[in-house]
Amino acid sequence: MEDLYIFRKELQNLGYCETVVNTYPKEIKRFLNYSKKEKISITSEDVLNYFEVLKTTKSRVTKMDLSQSAIAGKMRSIRMYFDYLQRTGAIKTSPYQLKIKSPKYEERKIFSPEEIKKLYEKSSPLQLIILHLCYGCGLRRNEASELNIKDIDLENCLMYIKKGKGKKRRVIPFTKQVKEDLKFFTSIEKKKGNKTEKLINITSERIYIEFKYLLKKTGLNNQGFTLHCLRHTIATQLLNQGMELEKVRDFLGHECLGTTQIYTRIYGESTNLSTK
């Protein structure tokens, strides 16, 4: 699997986030294991058959059918891999000939205020910090795992995100309660002898696992919630509180305003529900 290792290095060199760098090679390996063929023997029919299999595959997280966006992401990793093999001369022609329509808008699932309160009440010290980062500060999980202690200005309650998606940097304000919890957490880590530069010395995958544990503790598992729902929730709440769309975009680190505008639909839906 040397090709996969080199492909992973290329993803890193191209500036893709940690999640893509770690996930795409795994998705390609699953496809190759499914096909039971060497890369040079893969046909367009193999790719199509795998695409059909994914349509009936259950998510390991939600236990429901894979979403259109999840399937598109898996297929994108395969397309990029064979494009890379063709470009480097490892194969003559890419077997990936599928033309998949862009995923339709899928409703962003958000937590209710009561559910957020329950998550905070049941959280461990580590899970509490994950909630503060991914909900209170709206970070993506790879941003949370890459956050260094030196990038947090406790005195002014500011967080500097230097490794955002697309290498986009931003400054995030946080509350005094988050400040106190961060101080307490870092003091505990120092007593443990943890001398790492990272705030939470775990991978983005481990962050997701911790959140799954928390969902189970609160009885919110198997309801379609994912870690990213925390970002959906804070974005919707900020709009609900009257924050301008452009400021919400900057808070989340979106490059395009259109991405943030998706949350206006959720905001409208939640407003309609609350007035019924």
Domain boundary among 52, 87, 122: 87
Q: Are residues 160 and 39 in the same domain?
A: no
Question: pTM for the complete prediction?
Answer: 0.62
φ and ψ at residue 161, rounded to 5 degrees: -95, 110
% of the chain exceeding 90 in pLDDT: 53
Please report whether residue 25 resides in a domain.
Answer: yes
Q: Is the same domain home to 42 and 137?
A: no
Q: Across the chain, what does the average pLDDT equal? A: 86
Same domain, 214 and 155: yes
What is the domain range of residue 24?
Answer: 2-87
State which of 44, 72, 87 marks the end of a domain: 87
Q: What is the CATH number of the domain that holds 175?
A: 1.10.443.10
101, part of any domain = no
pLDDT at 273: 35
Which residue in the list 8, 74, 141, 165 is annotated as catalytic? 165
Whether 249 and 142 map to the same domain: the answer is: yes
Burial class (CB in 10 A: 0-12, 13-18, 19+), 180: exposed
Q: Residue 15 above 90 pLDDT?
A: no
Q: Say if 122 falls within a structural domain.
A: yes
Contacts of 2 (CB under 8 A, 6+ apart): none
- Catalytic residue, chosen from 50, 135, 254, 267, is 254
Residue 86 tokens read as 């063709």
Is the same domain home to 212 and 175?
Answer: yes
Query: Does residue 94 or residue 256 have the better pLDDT?
Result: 94
Q: Are the C-beta atoms of residues 141 and 207 closer than 8 Å to each other?
A: yes
Q: Is residue 106 part of a domain?
A: no
Please check whether residue 174 is in contact with residue 138, taking contact to mean a CB–CB distance below 8 angstroms.
no
Query: Does the active-site annotation cover 169?
Result: no
The answer to whether 97 and 47 are in contact (CB under 8 A) is yes
Residues 56 and 142 in one domain: no
Domain-embedded: residue 103: no
Q: What is the pLDDT of residue 18?
A: 72
Residue 228: active-site member = yes
Q: Give yes or no: 141 in active site.
A: no
Q: How far apart are alpha carbons 146 and 258 in whole angstroms? A: 26
96 belongs to a structural domain? no
The pLDDT tens digits of the residues spanning 185-220 come to 999 888 888 778 899 989 888 999 999 999 999 999
Residue 65 has pLDDT above 70, yes or no: yes
pLDDT of residue 259: 62
Do 83 and 118 lie in one domain? The reply is no
Kindly state the average pLDDT of the residues 108-124.
93
Instruction: Give the pLDDT band of residue 135 (cuts 50, 70, 90).
Output: very high
Domain end (from 87, 103, 127): 87
- Catalytic option among 140, 170, 232, 249: 140
Q: Are residues 76 and 157 in the same domain?
A: no
- Assess if residue 93 is contained within a domain: no
216 falls within a domain: yes
* pLDDT at residue 195, rounded to an integer: 77
Look at residue 271 in the predicted model and tell me its pLDDT.
42
Report the pLDDT value the prediction gives residue 263, as an integer from 0 to 100.
59
Catalytic residue among 170, 231, 232, 249: 231
Q: Catalytic: which of 118, 198, 212, 228?
A: 228
Helix axes 204-218, 18-35, angle to 10 degrees: 90
CATH value at residue 7: 1.10.150
State residue 261's pLDDT score: 65
In a shared domain, residues 235 and 133: yes
- My answer on whether 246 and 165 are in the same domain is yes
250, 11, 152, 114 alpha-carbon torsion, rounded to 10°: 60
3-class SS string, 30-73:
HHHHHHCCCHHHCCHHHHHHHHHHHCCCECCCCCCECCHHHHHH
Using DSSP's 3-state secondary structure scheme, residue 123 falls into: coil
Q: Is 165 annotated in the active site?
A: yes
**DSSP H helical ranges for the chain:** 2-13, 18-35, 44-54, 68-87, 113-122, 125-131, 141-146, 176-191, 204-218, 229-240, 245-252, 257-275
Q: Same domain, yes or no, for 79 and 145?
A: no
147 and 78 in a common domain = no
Whether 96 sits among the annotated catalytic residues: the reply is no
Domain count across the chain: 2
**CA atoms within 13 Å, Cβ hemisphere of 130:** 29
CB neighbourhood size of 225 (10 A):
23
Q: Is 232 among the residues known to form the active site?
A: no
